Structure formats: C-alpha cells, structure tokens
C-alpha cells in the first residue's frame, strides 16, 4: 500500500512561514518607524559623534522605536489571529486533502512560530504579550487563556487549546501542547492546567492533559496524552507517573525539588 508523502505539504508550510513572518516583521518595522518620526522625530546630528548629549538623544529615539516595534508586532499577531477560525477538537486523518481544521491549525502555527521566534529587535515580544493592557487582549484572542505571568517564556504550542489557571509556575524550556501527532492522524485536544500548579523546567505536557489544582510535575518529565493528574499530586519521570501525594498549597513549606 502506497503511503502519503508529506514533503510537498511541509515545503508549503515552510514557504508560508517565511512569507508570513517576513510580512509581519516588515509591517511592524514600518509602523514603528513612521510613528517615531511623527511623534518626536530623529535627532538631526549624526549618531557617530563624540557628543554625549547627541548620543543620549539617539539612544532615547532608538529605545522608543524598539518599544513601538515590539508592541506593533504583538498587536499584528492578535489582528491576524482574529482572522483565522479556531480549530476544533477532534481526530483528523492525514492525507492529500487535509481536513479544514488542520488547515486552520497550520495558519495558527505560523503565527505561533512568529510569537516564539521573533526577529531582531523583537526581544521584548515576550514582555509585551505578558504585560497589561496588551496581555488581556493577547490571552483572550491568541492564547493561551491564562491568569498567570511567567518569568521565563515557556513554549506553548497550539495556544488556542491551552488553558492555564492562576499562580501557575512554568520552568525554563518547558513545552505545553494542545495536539498529538501520530503516524496517520493528528488529534487536537485541550490541555488544562489549574491553579497553584508547578511545572518543572524542561518538562513536556502533551495534548489532552489535565493537571488539577496544587499539583507538581517534576523537571524533564513527559506527561503523556490524555493524562489526568489529580489535585495535590507529584508526578515525575519519562513517561511521568505519580510519585506521591502533596499537602494542599500553603499548608507546609514545599520540599519537592523540580529543577
């Protein structure tokens, strides 16, 4: 039986990703430059000078430009996301004619890549998307729907399928997904993380997982698709399994190290 070769589809995705990200970057670049020019303009003196006052003026203008670029970039992602239908949960077969839900998922993934791999000078995209007032709109439209704030930027794939509660800590290089890719099909399934959860650094939370309030996932753990972690449980390992029960949050000092 002849198998379906995905190379053409993947090449199309790469081309779409390049075109989309170049367009997003270019528009943000134009918006930031025009607004900076209209607002305060650029110093008339050359920045290549020994005059500290001139250098300071240029640094202020460039700083303003960088802030405008990052906010324009994030707002552009929100606007484009509003134009794409949200893929529905379900199991979708792979083939020459992909299901429409997978097509929407591909378009959203282009924006998601642009969110987590912003070009220079987009080093403040993480901050812009996590600080009010933009974060309120970003969470509601782009996702994930979250009531928490993060010190480091976890990679959240399929943000439209991820819900995160309040006071959730996610460690460095953790990854959270809202889908499961198999050989012949893709399953889109919501991942839910409730309040007061700690996800250790380097962990992978796969699609369809439900982590209930007060639980802890150890560092570098792999939580398999569809797993339900009960309230106040400590899970760790690859694949992750229950290690022990924990007291409710705030009752005793935490003693579990998750890295």
Q: What is the pLDDT of residues 169-214, one digit of tens each?
A: 999 999 999 999 998 899 999 999 999 999 999 999 999 999 999 9
Strands 228-229 and 210-211, how do they pair?
parallel
Q: Is 88 found in the same domain as 20? A: yes
Last residue within a domain, chosen from 92, 110, 142 = 142
Q: Is 237 found in the same domain as 167? A: yes
Q: Within 10 A of 29 (CB to CB), how many other CB atoms are there?
A: 16
Residue 259's pLDDT band (cuts 50, 70, 90): low
Task: Assign residue 79 a region (left: φ > 0; alpha: ψ between -120 and 50; beta: otherwise).
Answer: alpha
Q: Is 132 found in the same domain as 171? A: no
Owning domain of residue 43: 1-142
Residue 148's pLDDT band (cuts 50, 70, 90): very high
Distance CA 196, CA 209 (A): 16
Q: Is 218 found in the same domain as 101? A: no
Tokens, residue 115: 């969110």
Q: Is 122 found in the same domain as 9? A: yes
Last residue within a domain, chosen from 142, 161, 178 = 142
Q: Is 121 found in the same domain as 131? A: yes
Q: Is 98 found in the same domain as 14? A: yes
Percentage with pLDDT > 70 across the chain? 95
Distance CA 49, CA 55 (A): 7
How many structural domains does the chain have?
2
pLDDT of 166? 96
Which residues of 88-206 form beta strands (DSSP E)? 90-93, 145-146, 155-156, 162-164, 169-170, 175-176, 179-181, 185-188, 191-193, 198-199, 204-205
Is 54 in contact with 43 (CB distance < 8 Å)? yes
Q: Is 110 found in the same domain as 6? A: yes
pTM over 0.85: yes
Q: Is 170 found in the same domain as 253? A: yes
Q: Is 69 found in the same domain as 110? A: yes
79 vs 5, 130, 141, 162, CA distance in Å? 34, 17, 9, 19
SS3 percent helix, strand, coil of the chain, rounded to 5, is 40, 20, 45
Domain with residue 204: its CATH number is 2.160.10.10
Q: Is 92 found in the same domain as 23? A: yes
Q: What is the pLDDT of residues 23-78, one digit of tens each?
A: 999 999 999 999 999 887 888 888 777 788 888 999 999 999 999 999 999 999 99
Q: Within 10 A of 147 (CB to CB), how many other CB atoms are there?
A: 12
pLDDT averaged over the chain? 92
Residue 251 pLDDT exceeds 60:
yes
Tokens 């960088």, residue? Answer: 66
Last residue within a domain, chosen from 142, 175, 190 = 142
């Amino acid at each position: 039986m002849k198998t379906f070769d995905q190379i053409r589809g993947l090449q199309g995705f790469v081309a779409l990703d390049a075109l989309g990200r170049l367009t997003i970057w270019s528009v943000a670049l134009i918006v930031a430059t025009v607004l900076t020019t209209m607002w305060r303009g650029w110093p008339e003196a050359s920045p290549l000078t020994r005059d500290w006052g001139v250098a300071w003026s240029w640094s202020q203008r460039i700083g303003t430009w960088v802030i405008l670029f990052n906010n324009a970039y994030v707002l552009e992602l929100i606007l484009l996301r509003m134009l794409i239908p949200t893929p529905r949960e379900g199991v979708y077969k792979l083939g020459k004619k992909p299901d429409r839900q997978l097509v929407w998922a591909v378009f959203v993934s282009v924006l998601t890549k642009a969110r987590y791999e912003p070009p220079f000078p987009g080093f403040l995209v993480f901050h812009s998307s996590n600080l009010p007032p933009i974060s309120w709109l970003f969470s509601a439209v782009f996702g994930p729907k979250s009531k928490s704030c993060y010190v480091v930027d976890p990679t959240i794939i399929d943000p439209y399928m991820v819900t995160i509660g309040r006071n959730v800590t996610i460690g460095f290089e953790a990854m959270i997904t809202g889908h499961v890719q198999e050989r012949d099909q893709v399953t889109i399934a919501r991942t839910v993380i409730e309040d007061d959860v700690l996800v250790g650094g380097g962990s992978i939370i796969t699609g369809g997982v439900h982590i209930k309030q007060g639980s802890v996932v150890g560092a570098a753990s792999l939580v398999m698709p569809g797993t339900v972690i009960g309230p106040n449980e400590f899970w760790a390992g690859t694949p992750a399994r229950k290690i022990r029960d924990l007291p409710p949050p705030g009752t005793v000092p935490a003693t579990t190290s998750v890295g």
